[in-house]
Chains A and B, each alone.
Chain A
Amino acid sequence: MCAAKRVLICEDDADARLLIRSILRTNHFDVAGEAETGIQALNLFKETKPDIVLLDIQMPQGGGLTVLRFLREIDQKVRVILLTVDDSPHSVRTALKLGANDYVIKSSLTTPRFLQALQMEGVLQPEESAGGESSNPDEAPEEEAKSKAPKGPQRRMATTERRGDRRSGRR
């Protein structure tokens, strides 16, 4: 029997954390930790080594995109799901370019979409993002994003590697 996946919740609003925690426990995920700031998120990530990171895009002391940049320098393979209030094409594209595997709009936390994001393997492709709007990754303005972002096929490759790592007992 597979061990429950461990999830690190990075979210500054207590009500959202409570909701996420409840959904995770109801669906047999373990909560590895809860961070309220970007700095806490990175510290807890190093400490708990979770399988999945839920990362609020807007947090004090380091927003989700900033945390994501640092996090990908530490670990290229952990599944990262951005939490956002809206599906602004700009922020979604930037997040995916920086190495997020998926994103969930917060008002969808109580819908099957959230569980789908938690349970699926792989990476949301840019063209699937931002409500179907045109999402050419090269349009994202962040130079840092351009320099670090793997292209879609490379991200798929990373996912395959992650599966291999899990089989070999990386965690």
Chain B
Amino acid sequence: MNNETCIDPTALERIRGIGGDDLLTKMIALFIQNVEKRLREASEGKAAGDSEAVGRAAHSIKSSSGNVGAVRLQRIAQEIERLAMEGNIRRATDRIAELEGAFSEVKAHLTGKGEPSER
């Protein structure tokens, strides 16, 4: 394990500051929904050998992760996006499992705080 932050709590606090617990709950639910969808798209892209699809999925995960302060997930997604956009699909897709692992960690962290449960 590394020491990189799973979640930057200030990102969650800023969301709470804008719309309270209601907004935070909805944001987390949408984040989980979106990343799960994009992970499926990345896997489909891998199966099809479609580096652009993998890159698009990684880009969306990178963006959503930034909203909730999922620092490690964002970094891995960014690296996969870069590799995919460079056409290096094998190196990009080799890291999808790492991306899934990071997401599981984030999801457990977010849902374990009494925030929204799995959809």
Contact = CB atoms under 8 A, between A and B. Distances in A.
Interface stretch (A10-18, A33-41, A67-75): A10-18
Interface in A74-118: 85-86, 106-107, 109-111
Contacts of B30: 14-15, 18
Contact of B63 (A18, A22, A23, A85): A85
B34 A13 contact: yes
Contacts of B15: 19, 110
Contacts of B14: 110-111
B66 A106 contact: yes
Contact of B67 (A58, A86, A106, A111): A106
A15 B18 contact: no
Contacts of B33: 14
Contacts of A58: 56, 59
A43 interface: no
B87 interface: no
B24 to A, nearest CB: 10
A12 B19 CA distance: 21
A14 B56 CA distance: 15
- Max chain B C-beta neighbours (<10 A), residue from A14, A15, A23, A106: A15
Contact of A22 (B11, B18, B59, B68): B18
Interface of A: 12-16, 18-19, 22-23, 26, 58, 85-86, 106-107, 109-111
Given A18-B26, A85-B59, A109-B67, 20 more contacts: A13-B60, A14-B30, A15-B27, A15-B34, A15-B64, A15-B67, A16-B63, A16-B67, A18-B23, A19-B18, A19-B67, A26-B19, A58-B56, A86-B78, A106-B66, A110-B11, A110-B14, A110-B17, A110-B18, A111-B14
